[in-house]
Amino acid sequence: MSKPRIAFLGLGIMGGGMARRLITNSFPLAVFNRNSEKSKPFAADGAHVANSPREAAAQADFIISMVADDTAARAMWLGENGALAGAKPGAVCIECSTVTVNWVRELATAATAKNCEFLDAPVTGSKTQAASGELSFIVGGEAVTLEKARPVLATMSKAITHLGLTGSGALLKLINNFVCGVQIASLAEALAMIERSGLDRVKALEILTNGAPGSPLVKAVSGRMTQPEAAPNFLLRLMAKDLGYAIEEGGKLSVELVTATAALEDFQRAIATGHGEKDIAAVIEPFRRS
């Protein structure tokens, strides 16, 4: 049987790796990215480079979006040139971006109105996992729709977890990222104490990363905090966005995310001092004395 046609919207740090996995596994692929320069390598490998999300979606059986935030996702999906305007009935729309639950539910309603199916399927993992097909999808939506999409998602992942109704995946992704953001902020503060006190940084980090605090995230990010200008795996400004979204969702559930609010202050300080486009590890920089 021929493989389904895929439209992929967004070719950034994560989307680029995911789209590359689809090409490697011989899925017919149309791509769209607002910065067309990022599309050129995909054209060279046989993907159709569309001039709009609508054009990308026109022949697709599955439409996948991986962009920065609600605003970027809305621009991809809605409007005269949005993907839903070109989607054919029966297409499966998959929002993989880290976005709010409200947006996911709005998009699901819009997809249903176009006789399309919908999944919110954000991922855990970063640049390396996207490139190697080892992401983990956390999915909200109908089980029957997930089964249709499973062969496509499996190409990009090591695990697919169905959490429940629409919005479930989006909510857990925000919870996941707020916990990550808190860990990174606390690591930055700890490393600042180590550096200012004159402790042996190498030995101190060995204690932290090999002991109880040493989560996989802490181990990975601590290495990048000690490298000047580490290549971005996850943009710092996007973690600030995720923390803000998580705080908003917590408020709706009458849960005050005190630790997330404190972590957000650290990330906002880093953005204010020019580090927003750098890796999340750069949250340490405002703490460092010049």
Nearest partner of 92 among 61, 56, 115, 122, judged by Cα: 61
Instruction: Report how far residue 102's alpha carbon sits from residue 84's, in angstroms, rounded to the nearest whole number.
Output: 18
> Rg of the chain over CA atoms, in angstroms?
20
Residue 219 annotated to the active site: no
Task: Please pick, among 3, 38, 127, 173, the residue that the annotation labels catalytic.
Answer: 173
What is the CB neighbour count within 10 angstroms for residue 192?
A: 17
Backbone angles phi, psi at 94, to 5 degrees: -125, 115
> Taking each helix axis from N to C terminus, what angle separates 258-272 and 236-252, rounded to the nearest 10 degrees?
150
User: What dihedral angle (degrees, nearest 10) is formed by the CA atoms of 168, 174, 175, 178?
Assistant: 180
Nearest partner of 38 among 59, 19, 58, 62, judged by Cα: 19
Instruction: Report how far residue 173's alpha carbon sits from residue 100's, in angstroms, rounded to the nearest whole number.
Output: 10
Which residues have a catalytic role annotated?
173
